[in-house]
């Protein structure tokens, strides 16, 4: 049988099983921090556009996403991705790795389906939202799940479309 004698921590009492769970969580956080926050292999838009611009995007998302409307935020994110693709294209080198984020951004401008864009650059979008500490997935009042990122991919592929023409 497990010892359930509480530990005293100031005015708080913690059961040993809770202390164990907290210790495990802290060990995980420390291990993740030691491996550069788990970002060693994560593609980052900051590597393409520069850390200063990336930091501005992170602050923008922190400010806008919590109370923003998805149909507006998706256009903002699509603009971010279009700019990153433009920078990637202007900095493109002939011997660049086809699996690089810059190459994926360029490829994303050439596809016609949002799911193809998602396949190419979704990891970088996930990392952007993680860095901003906001979520791109949402649930409507009726319980329907939807995503700022998925809407942005559709906006991204139709960026230059002019439906009135």
> What's the DSSP call for residue 119?
H
Site of tokens 């010892």:
3
Residue 43's pLDDT is 76
pLDDT tens digits for range 10-46: 556 666 665 566 666 665 555 555 555 544 567 799 9
Tokens 């994560």, residue located: 42
d(CA 155, CA 74): 7
Q: Say what the pTM is.
A: 0.73
pLDDT < 50 stretches in the chain: 38-39
pLDDT at 126: 96
């Amino acid at each position: 049988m497990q010892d359930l004698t509480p530990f005293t921590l100031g005015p708080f009492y913690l059961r040993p099983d809770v202390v164990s769970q907290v210790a495990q969580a802290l060990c995980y956080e420390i291990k993740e921090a030691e491996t550069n926050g788990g970002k060693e292999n994560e593609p980052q838009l900051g590597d393409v556009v520069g850390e200063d611009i990336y930091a501005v995007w992170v602050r923008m998302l922190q400010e806008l996403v919590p109370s923003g409307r998805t149909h507006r935020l998706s256009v903002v994110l699509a603009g971010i991705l279009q700019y990153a693709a433009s920078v990637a294209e202007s900095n493109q080198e002939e011997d660049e790795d086809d699996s690089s984020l810059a190459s994926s951004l360029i490829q994303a401008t050439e596809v016609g389906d949002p799911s193809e864009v998602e396949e190419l650059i979704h990891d970088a979008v996930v990392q952007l939202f993680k860095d901003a500490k906001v979520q791109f997935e949402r649930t409507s009042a009726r319980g329907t799940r939807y995503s700022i990122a998925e809407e942005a991919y559709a906006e991204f592929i139709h960026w230059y479309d002019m439906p009135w023409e």
